[in-house]
């Protein structure tokens, strides 16, 4: 759940280790009703941030227009391509949308479970909006696709973390589920033949971009050699330049990597079915990775943001989704 400035990511939270979080008390939480996902409907809604109450996941009420457009496009591609392979996950209303009593931290979850015949285990999304002690805001959006043990294909990870109007951290990867030294065919199929590194190189060639190194060695070990772990800072060029990058090169790379994952992994164009003996290993490895995602950081980062009651509720649902 990655280079996160506020311990706020759900998918790779251990990237976040530097920015202090706001204390909060265990509060009552707002609730929402799930509406059918519609890009057209979501695009037509207001971009003006509100207090967040009643927000659907796809409202993305705190994002800029290019950032919001990208997330809607990615979700639309997932649902269009996977279609009937996905079924809604019945999230409790107080987990689908949640916020602390002070209104300084809020978030929303999106989850779809793969049908029994699908290679997809689940697709999970989150947005978080948290006020910083400095007076700014941190906005995190994440989209994660996890596969079952019947295939060894990589998982999909996208995370965009914005802690100011002119800078962001990007984490974009097809996270390997095999040892790339022991399985050179895996490296070739998913990373070389797909030219996945070209997208990292294109982003890194931007004058505003530089590599980002997680302080957590464990997290670094989980990433592929083609992972885009980048800090993009528009500096004096300002917010307009950052939005240009988000709507341009960053959007292009994210969409292309998602399409690679859908084609080669989730829809199994590479034919990476596993034998029963391999399946036990993959499922054990997946459980370890998922457990670490929660245990390393979420258990310590969410209570200060949302209070122990809400944090416990969210983490409990995530454990259920993760199959822990």
Q: Is 176 part of any domain? A: yes
In a 13 Å sphere around the CA of 100, the CA atoms on its Cβ side amount to 22
**Among 228, 254, 10, 262, which Cα is nearest to 111's?**
10
Range of the domain at 200: 13-322
pLDDT in the model for residue 270: 63
Q: Is 28 part of any domain? A: yes
pLDDT in the model for residue 120: 95
Cα–Cα distances (Å) from 202 to 76, 206, 324, in that order, read 25, 7, 37
pLDDT in the model for residue 52: 46
pLDDT in the model for residue 7: 40
Cα–Cα distances (Å) from 220 to 3, 64, 130, 170, 228, in that order, read 10, 29, 25, 14, 12
Take residue 150 and report the two structure tokens written for it.
């019947």
DSSP E strand boundaries for the chain = 86-88, 97-99, 105-114, 120-131, 137-147, 155-164, 167-175, 209-211, 228-233
pTM of the model: 0.83
Complete DSSP assignment for 78-111: HHHHHGGGEEE----HHHHEEE-TTSSEEEEEEE
Q: Is 1 part of any domain? A: no
- 324 residues of the chain, pLDDT tens digit each: 543 333 434 333 433 433 333 333 333 333 333 333 333 333 333 333 444 454 588 889 899 999 999 999 999 999 999 988 999 888 889 989 999 988 899 999 999 999 998 999 999 999 999 988 778 888 999 999 999 999 999 999 999 999 889 999 999 999 999 999 999 999 999 999 999 999 999 999 999 999 998 887 878 888 999 999 999 999 999 999 999 999 999 999 999 999 999 999 999 866 677 878 888 889 999 998 888 878 776 777 788 888 899 999 999 999 999 888
Alpha-carbon gap, residue 39 to 51, rounded angstroms:
22
Q: Is 5 part of any domain? A: no
> Which CATH number is 130's domain given?
3.40.1500.20
Quick one: angle between helices 251-260 and 197-204, nearest 10? 170
Tell me how many domains the chain contains.
1
pLDDT in the model for residue 20: 34
Q: Is 66 part of any domain? A: yes
Cα–Cα distances (Å) from 248 to 20, 42, 151, 223, in that order, read 31, 21, 33, 24
Alpha-carbon gap, residue 93 to 299, rounded angstroms:
21
Check the CA dihedral 322-220-191-229 and report its sign.
positive
Pair 230, 170: CB distance under 8 Å: yes
pLDDT in the model for residue 10: 36
| Displacement of CA 205 from its chain's centroid (Å) | 24
Pair 74, 255: CB distance under 8 Å: yes
Q: If phi over 0 gives left and psi between -120 and 50 gives alpha, with beta otherwise, what is residue 323?
A: left
Rg (CA), the chain: 19
Q: Is 39 part of any domain? A: yes
Q: Is 152 part of any domain? A: yes
Q: Is 4 part of any domain? A: no
Alpha-carbon gap, residue 97 to 55, rounded angstroms:
7
């Amino acid at each position: 759940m990655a280079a996160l400035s506020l311990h706020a990511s759900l998918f790779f939270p251990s990237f976040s280790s530097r920015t202090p979080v706001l204390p909060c008390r265990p509060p009552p939480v707002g609730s929402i009703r799930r509406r059918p996902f519609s890009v057209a409907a979501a695009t037509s809604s207001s971009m003006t941030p509100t207090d967040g109450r009643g927000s659907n996941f796809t409202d993305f009420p705190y994002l800029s227009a290019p950032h919001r457009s990208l997330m809607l496009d990615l979700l639309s591609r997932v649902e269009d391509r996977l279609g009937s392979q996905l079924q809604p996950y019945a999230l409790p209303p107080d987990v689908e949308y949640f916020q602390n009593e002070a209104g300084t931290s809020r978030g929303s979850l999106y989850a779809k479970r793969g049908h029994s015949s699908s290679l997809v285990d689940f697709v999970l999304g989150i947005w978080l909006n948290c006020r910083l002690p400095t007076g700014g805001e941190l906005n995190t959006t994440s989209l994660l696709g996890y596969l079952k043990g019947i295939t060894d294909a990589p998982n999909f990870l996208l995370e965009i973390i914005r802690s100011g109007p002119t800078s962001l951290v990007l984490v974009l990867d097809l996270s390997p589920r095999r040892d790339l030294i022991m399985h050179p065919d895996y490296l070739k199929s998913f990373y070389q033949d797909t030219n996945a590194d070209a997208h990292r190189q294109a982003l890194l060639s931007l004058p505003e971009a530089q590599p980002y190194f997680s302080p957590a060695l464990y997290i670094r070990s989980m990433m592929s050699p083609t992972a885009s772990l980048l800090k993009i800072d528009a500096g004096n060029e300002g917010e307009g330049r950052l939005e240009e990058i988000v709507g341009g090169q960053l959007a292009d790379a994210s969409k292309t990597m998602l399409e690679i994952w859908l084609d080669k992994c989730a829809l199994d164009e590479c034919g990476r079915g596993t034998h029963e003996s391999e399946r036990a290993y993959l499922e054990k490895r997946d459980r370890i990775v998922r457990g670490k995602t929660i245990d390393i950081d979420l258990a310590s980062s969410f209570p200060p943001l949302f209070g122990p009651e809400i944090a416990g509720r969210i983490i409990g649902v995530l454990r259920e989704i993760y199959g822990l």
